[in-house]
A = this chain, B = another copy of it.
């Protein structure tokens, strides 16, 4: 039994997203768990998921999870809010490894952060329509009032590289001004792209509203589960990072570096489905 645990420890974390946004989660996991091996899959050929139907998102997620599980992983991290919002239960039921999404950790952090029990949530259309952040937050404390708002243009703005740009400020004002008057004290960044424009979001809503980055909370949750199950990697070997994508579009290097905070090495293109 002890040997089995030892074997599991050195297995990789399997992490996936609809594209490269999930690299903000990878970045936080590397920071918090520097010994862990990682296999990442980004569905760059079929990105974005935020405007697709639930059925298609579930189909694609199962294909990706099957691929990652075939890489003999010890845990599956769904580093995508859209997938976490519609497919997490199905993935948990289907596979024999712990499955962690980004919603529950973000919801928990928000419930802890709010002092006046008023929380805002922003994300893609699909995430917001699913209402899962609100359900999760209310399952922790039913008295918390949740206001949600889809912000579909933030993803293309980030991918265009308009990180500190007057248009992005204007879009942020259009999407977020209603939060300023609503009296929330915490705002969940419910999309892995949003931490990249964190500064503009913070400036727009003002410094009295605390931003909850679900990437950070998710890295903490992954650490907790590894610890509870005693399967944290304690090896002092340099960890192995493998990145798989379904397409290698132009500017991939430039954009992915922005998300991960470092250059991706060992990137392979594979086709699923």
Q: Which B residues touch A271, using CB under 8 A?
A: 59
Q: Which B residues touch A55, using CB under 8 A?
A: 247
Q: Report whether B167 and A156 are in contact in the complex, using a CB–CB cutoff of 8 Å.
A: no
**Does chain B have a CB within 8 A of A72?**
no
Stretch of A2-10, A31-39, A46-54, A190-198 lying at the B interface: A46-54
Chain B: minimal CB distance from A123 (Å): 14
Give the complex CA separation of A248 and B55 in angstroms.
10
**Does chain B have a CB within 8 A of A125?**
yes
Give the complex CA separation of A53 and B246 in angstroms.
10
Over the window 231-270 of chain A, the binary record of Cβ atoms lying under 8 Å from chain B Cβ atoms (1 yes, 0 no) is 0000000000000001111110000000000000000000
Q: Report whether A52 and B247 are in contact in the complex, using a CB–CB cutoff of 8 Å.
A: yes
In chain A, positions 48-103 with a C-beta closer than 8 Å to chain B are: 51-53, 55-56, 59
Q: Which B residues touch A129, using CB under 8 A?
A: 250
Q: Which B residues touch A46, using CB under 8 A?
A: 45-46
Q: List 25 A-B contacts (CB under 8 A).
A: A44-B52, A45-B46, A46-B46, A51-B249, A52-B247, A52-B249, A53-B248, A53-B249, A53-B250, A56-B246, A56-B247, A125-B251, A126-B250, A152-B159, A153-B156, A153-B160, A153-B167, A156-B156, A166-B170, A167-B167, A167-B170, A167-B171, A167-B174, A170-B170, A273-B273
Of all chain B residues, the one with the shortest Cβ separation from A168 is: B167
Size bracket, chain A contacts: 20 to 34
Q: Which of B45, B52, B174, B273 contacts A52 (CB 8 A)?
A: B45
Q: Which B residues touch A52, using CB under 8 A?
A: 44-45, 247, 249
**Does chain B have a CB within 8 A of A132?**
no
Q: Which B residues touch A51, using CB under 8 A?
A: 47, 159, 249
Q: Which 10 A-B pairs have the closest CB atoms?
A: A156-B156, A56-B247, A45-B56, A53-B249, A53-B247, A167-B170, A46-B46, A51-B249, A52-B247, A152-B160
Q: Which B residues touch A251, using CB under 8 A?
A: 125
**Does chain B have a CB within 8 A of A144?**
no
